[in-house]
Amino acid sequence: MRQYEDTYQHKGMRRRLVNELKEKGITDERVLDAINTVPRHFFLDSAFDKIAYEDRAFPIGEGQTISQPYTVAYQTQLLQIKKLDKVLEIGTGSVYQATILAELGAWVYTIERQKKLYEKNKQFLFKSKYPNLKFFYGDGFEGLQPYAPFDKIIITAAAPFIPPKLVAQLKVGGYMVIPVDEGENQRMLRLEKLADGTLREEAFEQFSFVPMLTGKND
Ligand code: SAH
């Protein structure tokens, strides 16, 4: 069984990462605190121990990646999480982003389409620290109708378009943060659902995500 240890060295590297994120423009102190609290190296294979706090994406198996810390901080900041917000995440991957949301006090419902990653995450012991984090195996394009509506929705893969079912499952006044394909890269959008059901759109920086794919993969 893998031992999880959070040493002074890890904590020091994490503080340096937080400073780097500040320099890159992340301003939300609660988001920075969450990144300072959650040991990112727990979410990676032990081979990445020494580099887990570099501001980079890393492979996590099944051709997928753990998002770059800057991207996690950026999306989380745009979501403006409040305690007890009900948040839907598409693309559980390593569980790192979901844990940052849970650390901020949200109720997190995260969906993964890769069976192997979903199964691996069920074994992940650190998650027991977060009873407010729930895992689902399924296709994110479908959302999670039984638990809708959500205060916030975050998509952590490159979306070919804005999935209509996710819009339907968002509360009025709620935010969806979604990277939408623009050829090579994706434009980060924040969509607010208005009372008449339409969306108010704000566009932010460009990012590069793995694709959001349809259907489950077992
Ligand atoms: N949030 C993750 C990022 C993982 S990368 C983290 O913090 O590590 C994106 C993930 O989205 C991959 O695991 C991929 O399998 C998953 N994914 C892609 N399309 C999906 C879909 N339609 N539904 C659910 N998950 C999907």
Q: For a substitution probing ligand 1, which of 92, 162, 186, 217 has the most ligand atoms within 8 Å of its CB? A: 92
212 Cα to the center of ligand 1, angstroms: 7
75 CB under 6 A from ligand 1? no
Q: Alpha-carbon distance 202 to 39, whole Å?
A: 31
Query: Is the Cβ atom of 93 under 6 angstroms away from ligand 1?
Result: yes
Chain centroid to Cα 203, Å, comes to 18
pLDDT one-digit tens code per residue, 140-169: 999 999 999 999 999 999 999 999 999 999
Which residue has the least CA distance to atom 4 on ligand 1? Answer: 93
Give the CATH fold of the 60-207 domain. Answer: Rossmann fold (3.40.50)
Ligand 1 centroid–CA 183 distance in Å is: 19
At residue 158, φ and ψ (nearest 5 deg) are: -75, 115
Atom of ligand 1 nearest to the CA of 117: 13
- Separation between Cα atoms, residue 70 and residue 214, nearest integer Å: 26
Could you list the active site residues? Answer: 67
Q: Is the CB of 67 under 6 A from ligand 1?
A: yes
Query: What is the pairing mode between strands 185-193 and 170-182?
Result: antiparallel
pLDDT tens digits, 96-110: 999 999 999 999 999
- pLDDT for 1: 56
Q: Yes or no: say if 87 and 95 are a contact pair by the CB < 8 Å rule.
A: no
Whether the model pTM is above 0.95: yes
How far does the centroid of ligand 1 lie from the alpha carbon of residue 4, in Å? 24
Consecutive 10-residue runs of the chain (218 residues): their mean pLDDT? Answer: 85 98 98 98 93 96 93 98 98 97 98 96 87 97 98 98 98 98 94 97 97 91
Supply the DSSP symbol for 53. T
Closest residue by CA, ligand 1 atom 18: 212
**Token pair of 105, please?**
């006090």
186 in ligand 1 pocket by Cβ < 6 Å? no
Domain residue spans of the chain: 60-207
